[in-house]
């Protein structure tokens, strides 16, 4: 029976969406031709229907069999135990967990393809956050912009894209005279918007199925800001001569860090990174590193100091930043000189308990800039309480990592695929794609779709 199944499936180019079909996040696409298979991303869901945010920490404790049993991963034993020779590889589009979060569950025998900086960011983060993969046992291959490669019968071309994650790609898959284009996550309004414009010029006009992310389809009222526009708002707040400014943003949003850095320079303030952020920027060789950019200083939160001591990671996590290190007493002397990257885990660093802590008098006249998607705000009750307790003004400055509806429309108009397939969007938003393209094909989770 198995051989008959094999013969039938070998007749066509087909794919199915194990995640990302009816939700924002969890992208996980299986592509098959002539009995050979590849996977595009292996992401974790961001939220669960009726359950709220998906906990990767909770999942970390469970076995793969349990996760499959719970329905979070599809029943693909060969992917997890490495016994299926038809699986040729997994391609990771960018270093966001909703695109690579389940990669640790794949057998290390299956090669992984991803950008070099994507690998660097994930590996560097694994030194701080335990549920990130280290790739120690994996077979890894780098991908880069327009560097076409062959994986069995599949011809794959990565296109570098503009997104809030560094080193992001869209992927063109050609096989058997047909083609599938996977947008990954992308936008046109970031610091690398030129990638989007060059994609408009170069995208093939012969795509059969265009799997297009539609994160913003459900957020029509969000202002159409560009990343560079945010610098004016940041600079305006940083120019005030009063108080410390705390910026709550993702250490992985490199575009945003650049915006904060330029704004700090314009306003005459020094940027203070925490050592986790500094470690990430070092891993990717970013030019605004402490050491390369003299205005940048590095603060070591108490929790990180304890971890470094416990792990004895002085040479990697401490020594490289010592000449740029800033201590609590230096910040306390003139807090109005600084803008500091900040996150929930650093709340305990503001305390009057002793020398290692930043005294709470520094918070007089301080401002907090919330610079992430507003959906995460509700998950930060401790930060909200901290701001209330110390009467810190909160200001939101942000633009999305995902393309606005008008830009998605421009992309489809340029490509004119046979079908636009909505992914990475809410189930009820899939029909809205009709407003931006004439031929829309919603594909349900787990159902094979032939091309």
Q: Does 402 bind Zn ion (CB under 5 A)?
A: no
Q: What's the min distance (Å) between Cβ of 351 and Zn ion?
A: 35
CA neighbor of 66 nearest in space, from 105, 100, 29: 105
- Residues 6 or more apart whose CB falls under 8 angstroms from that of 347 comprise 382, 383, 386
Q: Smaller CB distance to Zn ion: residue 30 or 185?
A: 185
Tell me which residue has tokens 């459900």: 218
For the bound state, the minimum distance from the C-beta of residue 189 to Zn ion, rounded and expressed in Å, comes to 15
Q: How far is the CB of 31 from Zn ion (least distance, A)?
A: 20
Q: Which is nearer to Zn ion, 122 or 358 (CB)?
A: 122
* Backbone torsions φ then ψ of 234, nearest 5 degrees: -60, -50
Interaction between residue 23 and Zn ion (CB under 5 A): no
Contact status, residue 190 vs residue 162, Cβ threshold 8 Å = yes
| Distance of alpha carbon 431 from alpha carbon 428, whole angstroms | 7
- 10 DSSP β-pair partners: none
Smallest separation, CB 257 to Zn ion (Å): 16
CB nearer to Zn ion: give 45 or 301. 45
Binding segment for Zn ion (CB under 5 A), chosen from 49-57, 119-127, 183-191, 378-386, is 183-191
How far separated are the first and last CA of the chain, in Å rounded? 24
Angstrom distance (rounded) from CA 120 to CA 133: 11
Closest approach of Cβ 255 to Zn ion, in Å? 12
Report how many residues bind Zn ion under the rule CB under 5 A: 3
Residue ranges in 318-377 that form contacts with Zn ion under rule CB under 5 A: none
Q: Single out the segment in contact with Zn ion by CB under 5 A; choices: 105-113, 185-193, 221-229, 409-417.
A: 185-193
19 vs 301 by CB, closer to Zn ion: 19
Quick check: 185 binds Zn ion (CB under 5 A)?
yes
Least Å distance between CB 96 and Zn ion? 4
Binding of residue 252 to Zn ion (CB under 5 A): no
> Tokens 């297009």, residue?
212
Distance CA 134, CA 106 (A): 13
CB of 25 to Zn ion, least distance (A): 8
For 263-312, the DSSP string reads HHHHHT-EEEEEHHHHHHHHHTT-TT-BTTBTTEEEE--HHHHHHHHHHT
Residue 316 Cα to chain centre, angstroms? 24
Residues 6+ apart with CB under 8 A from 135: 112, 119, 122, 123
With contacts defined by CB under 5 A, name the span among 116-124, 132-140, 165-173, 283-291 that binds Zn ion. 165-173
Which segment (95-103, 110-118, 150-158, 325-333) binds Zn ion by CB under 5 A? 95-103
| Residue 195 to residue 401: CA distance in whole angstroms | 14
Residue range at the interface with Zn ion (CB under 5 A); choices 149-157, 159-167, 219-227, 353-361: 159-167
Q: Does 424 interact with Zn ion (rule: CB under 5 A)? A: no
Q: How far is the CB of 320 from Zn ion (least distance, A)?
A: 28
C-alpha distances in Å from residue 223, one per residue of 174, 230, 327, 399: 37, 12, 39, 8
Is 96 a binder of Zn ion (CB under 5 A)? yes
Closest separation in Å from C-beta 235 to Zn ion: 27
b (16+ CB within 10 A) / e for 233-246: bbbebbeeeebbbb
Q: Which is nearer to Zn ion, 170 or 275 (CB)?
A: 170
Bridge partners, 149 (sequence order): 156
Give strand ranges (E) for 8-48. Answer: 14-19, 28-33, 36-42, 47-48
- Tell me if 167 contacts Zn ion by CB under 5 A: no
Name the segment binding Zn ion (CB under 5 A); options: 158-166, 268-276, 282-290, 358-366. 158-166
> What does the per-residue mask of binding to Zn ion show for 49-88, with x meaning CB under 5 A?
----------------------------------------
Stretch in the footprint of Zn ion (CB under 5 A) among 5-13, 89-97, 322-330, 404-412: 89-97
- CA dist 94 and 113 (Å) reads 11
- Give the binding range for Zn ion (CB under 5 A) out of 115-123, 178-186, 264-272, 382-390: 178-186
* Interacting residues with Zn ion between 284 and 303 (CB under 5 A): none
Closest CA to 425 of 28, 116, 23, 113: 23
211 vs 387, beta carbon nearer Zn ion: 211
Could you say whether residue 22 binds Zn ion (CB under 5 A)? no
Spacing of C-alpha 215 from chain mean position: 13
Q: How far is the CB of 94 from Zn ion (least distance, A)?
A: 6
Q: Measured over all CA atoms, what is the biggest interatomic distance in the chain, rounded to whole angstroms?
A: 76
| Contact footprint for Zn ion (CB under 5 A) | 96, 165, 185
């Amino acid at each position: 029976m198995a051989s008959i199944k094999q013969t039938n499936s070998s007749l066509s180019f087909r794919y199915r969406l194990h995640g990302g079909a009816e939700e924002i996040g969890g992208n996980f696409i299986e592509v098959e031709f002539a009995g050979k298979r590849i996977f595009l991303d292996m992401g974790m869901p961001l939220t669960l229907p009726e359950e709220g945010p998906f906990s990767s920490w909770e999942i970390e404790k469970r076995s793969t069999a349990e996760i499959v049993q719970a329905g979070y991963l599809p029943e693909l034993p060969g992917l997890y135990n490495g016994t299926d020779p038809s699986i040729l590889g997994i391609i990771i589009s960018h270093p966001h967990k909703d695109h690579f979060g389940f990669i640790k569950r794949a057998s290390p025998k299956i090669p992984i393809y991803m950008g070099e900086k994507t690998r660097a960011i994930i590996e560097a983060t694994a030194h701080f956050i335990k549920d990130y993969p280290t790739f120690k046992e994996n077979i890894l291959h780098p991908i880069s912009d327009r560097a076409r490669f062959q994986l069995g019968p599949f011809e794959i071309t990565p296109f570098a894209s503009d997104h809030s994650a560094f080193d992001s790609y869209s992927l063109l898959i050609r096989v058997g005279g047909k083609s599938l284009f996977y947008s990954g996550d992308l936008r046109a309004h970031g610091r690398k918007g030129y990638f989007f414009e060059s994609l408009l010029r170069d995208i093939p006009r012969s795509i059969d199925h265009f799997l297009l992310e539609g994160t913003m389809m459900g957020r029509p009222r969000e202002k159409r800001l560009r990343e560079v526009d945010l610098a004016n708002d940041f600079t305006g707040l940083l120019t005030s001569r009063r108080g410390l400014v705390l910026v709550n943003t993702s250490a992985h949003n490199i575009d945003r860090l650049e915006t904060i850095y330029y704004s700090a320079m314009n306003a005459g303030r020094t940027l203070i990174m925490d050592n986790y952020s500094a470690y990430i920027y070092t891993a990717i060789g970013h030019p605004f590193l402490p050491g390369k950019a003299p205005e940048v200083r590095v603060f070591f939160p108490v929790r990180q100091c304890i971890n470094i001591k416990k792990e004895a990671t002085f040479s990697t996590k401490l020594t490289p930043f010592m000449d740029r290190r800033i201590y609590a007493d230096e910040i306390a002397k003139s807090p109005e000189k600084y803008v500091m990257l900040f996150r929930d885990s650093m709340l305990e660093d503001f305390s009057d308990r002793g020398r290692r802590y930043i005294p709470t008098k520094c918070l007089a006249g301080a401002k907090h800039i919330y610079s992430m998607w507003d959906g995460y705000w509700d998950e930060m009750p401790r930060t909200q309480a901290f701001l209330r307790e110390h009467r810190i003004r909160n200001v939101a400055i942000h633009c999305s990592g995902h393309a606005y509806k008008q830009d998605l429309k421009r992309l489809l108009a340029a490509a004119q695929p046979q079908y636009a397939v909505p992914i990475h969007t809410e189930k009820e938003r899939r029909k809205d794609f009709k407003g931006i393209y004439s031929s829309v094909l919603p594909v349900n989770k787990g159902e094979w779709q032939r091309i």
